[in-house]
Amino acid sequence: MDLLELFHNNPGLSDTTEGVARRIGRTASEIEADVKDLVDLDLLVKGRFGKLDVVSFNTNKDKRIQETISNQIKRRAD
């Protein structure tokens, strides 16, 4: 949840796994499983740049999810 909140609030964040972990006071190994889950959900994109792993946010996917949620709430209210 911390990870999702971090990227949702900071879509311009694109960092190494270690760099991302540091920003929420954790270590790379501690967030590895969460990163994998969010990558599987297509919310995070993990790529390779040179020798380093880079994790960034899939803003389009985030936008689509938010739209879906907002539409569902709207439909229920109608």
**Residues in the site for other proteins, rule: CB under 8 A?**
9-16, 18-19, 23, 48-52, 54
- Which residue, 10 or 72, has its beta carbon nearer to other proteins? 10
DSSP letter at 43 equals S
Among residues 52 and 73, whose Cβ is nearest to other proteins? 52
Residue placing its CB nearer to other proteins in the complex, 11 or 69:
11
Q: Round the CA-based radius of gyration of the chain to a whole number and report it.
A: 14
CB of 74 to other proteins, least distance (A): 24
